[in-house]
Chain A
């Protein structure tokens, strides 16, 4: 082989290599990037769908969504951010883990400032309700995420049974008032009893209300449904002060436990009063209460926004417009279960991650993910959207619920507080521990130790 031939060969090889490496692309575009997105299973399908559309618009960025169940997502993410492994780029974080997660997530406000070129001018930050923005996006002044899944609890009831004239007449003679969705937990007891076959043979359902008070974290937020009405009443606000958005309804404005009080006891008693009218309240979790309502064996159920998709498919609830009503939570206060979407500080692809985050939470996708997957809207524009309002009876109720809903603590100690509290509440409801201020004060002492 002569020197000329060799030179030619080098040139050709080099050209081929260049073509293979960057087919028809200018040399300065980035190499293909894959973003790992960890999501709670509720959000996974919506994020995967958004990811596909994002990749269509940005062919060099691939999105891989891994659904991880709630129980596991928190410790997995914590281990990862604490050790700076960078196993995920973008993730959904649960509202009450905000404090623990904050150091591991990118400050988006700062990122926007440093990278004005990447900011979408049509994004409209003002479109988020300020409280929702704080709960689902801010910790200690740092913008650690964007509210993505604005989950809250709603009160679902059997519209058809409540509208039944025979039942209405019987209820009126028995209780001297109209049969309608209850507005306080005390009213709920009567209605629940009325719809329990054991106490009313004419009831079309076996039980009045499906409740979930299991040993998992569920019981911790269920208590907020019953405590918030006391905590947020005129008297409650006077006694405990306004609700701190980091410490939530469990605390006073002075960041001390508020539940070791007569109000806290009343809340547990309200829960206990409903137990006889519920199938297996201490053994049921999401799946079981949802199944009870979907099979038509209960008349009412407090549940998250997402169950709507399952109810819509349930044979016993068809057509859903006639059979299922959506109301504000009795007592007037729901509990929030917002999921924020944030970027790992250890991510090696922050600009790409930011662009995906921005895309996933823009106006069009906030609406699309609600209409297509039932993922509760985080933006006001979606709540006001005529199409969304027409398609889904939950929208007006959501709008009324968001400003009044109760909150769990978002401080780093939350999971631990949750575990010891659920243990105590579970024993109180199961009759293994007296429901007294003194017992709740013991729990508050445990809290104090953890908060030190």
Chain B
């Protein structure tokens, strides 16, 4: 009896907490499907009455009252492509580089704590401080407004964290396994590739997911280093909806939904690994 009451109480609290965490998401999603007259109302339209796809198609009268050509959602495609390439590229490269380094640090203690501290300190460098020097450098290398510019700078803040987590992860893998491989004549790299990597898959997947999420949402550097549909990512694309004389809330929400959907789907798919991978290997039985 008491346990039943407890379970109900727990569920009630959970639901209340969920309202706080989910309502903003709900509001964004529903606004994306509301016609212009319902974006703002008093009382607010909690449950949408009429649903429309106009915010996605740029249909109806458009944002500027004159058939909003430059802001129709069909234009989102190149930006979506850029975001996918940049975030995937960052996630893959960052995980690979971090795994190599993490393994070396974990097994051979290369550099020790000072080196690890230095890696972490890189993550602390405020991206704003790096913006102009990077702009100048990338101009010399002809990398401005390219995917590589973004992948490279995103790597600097995703990789250090991944190294940190993966060190603990590799620490957990019994040394006997690599030693056995060594005895069989494998090189350190082969041992890493064939023995250690498969065993640390959850950690790698978790780091890939987090790197993906971070790169996907990065705003400041993408703003400065890219300028056209060739390389601009979705968060930058969203900015164009906030115009001088009108905030187009519906299309903005629609574009926001398109922006968040891939990353949400990706991370929900990876959730299992996130749960296992994010314990940093710090908790041991």
- List chain A positions with a Cβ less than 8 A from chain B: 36, 38, 40-42, 44-46, 48-49, 64-72, 75-76, 79-80, 83, 85, 87-88, 151, 286-287, 290-291, 295, 297, 303-304, 306-310, 312-313, 315, 337, 372-374
Contact = CB atoms under 8 A, between A and B. Distances in A.
A217 to B, nearest CB: 11
A147 B269 CA distance: 52
Contact of A49 (B36, B40, B69, B144): B69
Most chain A CB within a 10 A radius of its CB, from B40, B70, B71, B144: B70
B240 interface: yes
Interface in B29-74: 36-37, 40-42, 61-62, 64-71
A249 to B, nearest CB: 21
Nearest to B238: A69
Contacts of A85: 139, 144
B245 interface: yes
A87 B68 contact: no
Contacts of B239: 68-69, 71-72
A197 to B, nearest CB: 13
B40 A295 contact: yes
B70 A48 contact: yes
A76 B226 CA distance: 9
Given A80-B227, A286-B244, 14 more contacts: A41-B71, A45-B66, A45-B68, A45-B70, A65-B70, A67-B70, A71-B239, A79-B135, A290-B245, A303-B245, A306-B246, A307-B246, A312-B65, A373-B65
B244 A306 contact: yes
B144 A304 contact: no
A83 B141 CA distance: 13
Contact of B240 (A46, A69, A291): A69
B61 A67 contact: no
Contacts of A313: 36, 61, 65
15 contacts: A41-B241, A44-B70, A46-B66, A64-B229, A67-B243, A72-B223, A79-B135, A80-B227, A83-B136, A87-B228, A295-B42, A307-B246, A309-B245, A310-B245, A313-B36
A315 B41 CA distance: 12
Contacts of A67: 70-71, 240, 243
Interface in B6-50: 36-37, 40-42
B145 interface: yes
B243 to A, nearest CB: 4
A287 B42 CA distance: 17
Contacts of B135: 79, 83
Interface string B181-215: 00000000000000000000000000000000000
B65 A310 contact: yes
B227 A307 contact: no
A45 B246 contact: no
B65 A291 contact: no
A309 B247 contact: no
Nearest to A84: B139
B224 interface: yes
B282 interface: no
Contact of A66 (B68, B227, B241): B227
A307 B245 contact: yes
A45 B61 CA distance: 13
A36 B228 contact: yes
Contacts of B241: 41
B244 A42 contact: yes
A206 to B, nearest CB: 9
B180 interface: no
Contact of B145 (A38, A87, A304, A315): A87
B245 A306 contact: yes
8 closest Cβ pairs, A-B complex: A309-B65, A287-B247, A41-B243, A306-B245, A44-B70, A42-B244, A69-B239, A67-B240
A286 B241 CA distance: 13
Contact of B244 (A36, A70, A87, A291): A70
B227 A286 contact: no
A68 B240 contact: yes
B242 interface: yes
Contacts of A65: 70
A79 B69 CA distance: 28
Contacts of A304: 244-245
B240 A83 contact: no
A68 B241 CA distance: 9
Contacts of A286: 244-247
Given A85-B144, A286-B246, A306-B244, A64 B228 contact: yes
Nearest to B247: A287
A315 B69 contact: no
A45 B69 contact: yes
A427 B104 CA distance: 55
Interface in B120-160: 132, 135-136, 139, 144-145
Contacts of A68: 239-240
A210 B79 CA distance: 36
Nearest to A311: B65
A87 B227 contact: yes
B246 A310 contact: yes
Contacts of B243: 40-42, 67, 69
B66 A76 contact: no
Contacts of B242: 41, 69, 287
Nearest to A292: B40
Contact of A373 (B42, B66, B223, B228): B66
Contacts of B36: 313
Contact of B66 (A36, A297, A315, A372): A372
A306 B248 CA distance: 14
A303 B245 CA distance: 8
Nearest to A85: B139
